[in-house]
Amino acid sequence: MFRTTSRAAAAAGLLLTLGLTTACSTGQESVKSDAAPAAPVSGKISITYLQKQGDQEYFVGEAAGAKAKAAELGIDLKVVNLGNDANKTVSEVQSAIAQKTNGIIIVVPDPAVGPQVVQTAKDAKVALLTSDDQICATGPDPSACNKDSLVARIGFSGQQMGAEVGKRAAEEFKKAGWSPADTRIISAWKQDVTVCGDRVKAAKDAFATGAGAQVQNIDVATDNTPTGAQDKIAATVTANAGVKHWVVWGCNDENVQGGVTAMENAGISADNVIGVGLGAYLACKDWSGSKASGMKAALFINGKDVGALAVQTMYDKLKNSKDFPKEAFAPTTMVDPTTWKSAGVSCS
């Protein structure tokens, strides 16, 4: 879902918080970010939703959910696709403020811009909420943040999602009857994205518990895109030519689909691959045809639910001065080739 971006922008970030929910380990006292704006907004509410990779299936759904909720609540909503551009993130925040938006919901392409985004919104007394990925008010790395400096977030629980993936992978592994000695796990993710790390760690822990066996894991750093994952995992497969069976998981469907494709191109049969996706928006495409796929299951995360919940949460803050929750989570469902349609997965 991301490409590697320059972290230079983070150096310009000012180290104050907009009143959300964490303070990085700087020793500074955090400012309550959800305290601004203090008074309810009178009249029609305007919200700007800034998304990384807005053309990705998940984020398209998220925007649709946000728009539907905004229409229901009578909100003026503007959705902006940031792509993977960290510099555009800051300029679009400034543009939204100049256009008198009351609140900003943001999915950042790079968490390094977090401090600058938070400070810019704080100076303008504009409410700020993140969806999906975390940002820190006082530093570029959310994983190094104290909880009091993490901006309030709407999304999914990384730990819960990862645990579901690892649990299902363990079930598939035991069903396949593979030997741990000739099996390897690939964990693929963009390693500077905190929520990705949470998901992968939880998957590892759940697999170890559920499989009842020790299987060697190989961490693969990717850019969270299918092609990026495919290239990196292809190199990993080549370097481990003696491995017969592969388990693949990662931060999102993109990583797993990239891995499954890399293995298919390397001549590894679908019977020797257990891919468990996270999202299901790409996994379902593998299941739409008659060809066997190494993608055995995927955790369905519905972007529409997150977009709608984010808009509702921002509305409650702006209209009724209701404090942001530190985090609010949408539901998830594990699906496979036999259940994805009945679960409501949208596959275009």
pLDDT digits (tens, 9 = 90+) for 185-215: 999 999 988 889 999 999 999 999 999 999 9
pLDDT digits (tens, 9 = 90+) for 141-151: 998 999 999 99
Asked whether the predicted pLDDT for residue 14 surpasses 60, the reply is no
- Residue 142 is given by DSSP the state G
Integer Cα distance of 31 and 16 in angstroms? 7
- Residue 221 is given by DSSP the state E
The answer to whether 87 and 32 are in contact (CB under 8 A) is no
User: Cis (ω within 30 of 0) for the bond into 37?
Assistant: yes
Integer Cα distance of 44 and 318 in angstroms? 10
Work out the number of other CB atoms within 10 angstroms of the CB of residue 235: 12
Q: Express as a percent the part of the chain with pLDDT over 90.
A: 79
Asked whether the predicted pLDDT for residue 345 surpasses 70, the reply is yes
Integer Cα distance of 246 and 76 in angstroms? 48
Mean pLDDT of 104-112: 95
Work out the number of other CB atoms within 10 angstroms of the CB of residue 291: 9
Q: What predicted TM-score, i.e. pTM, was given to this entire model?
A: 0.71
Q: Express as a percent the part of the chain with pLDDT over 70.
A: 89
Whole-number average pLDDT of the chain: 89
Please, which residues have CB within 8 angstroms of residue 67's CB and are 6 or more apart in sequence? 77, 79, 307
pLDDT digits (tens, 9 = 90+) for 111-142: 999 999 999 999 999 999 999 999 999 999 99
State the residue for tokens 């993977």.
Answer: 84
Asked whether the predicted pLDDT for residue 23 surpasses 50, the reply is no
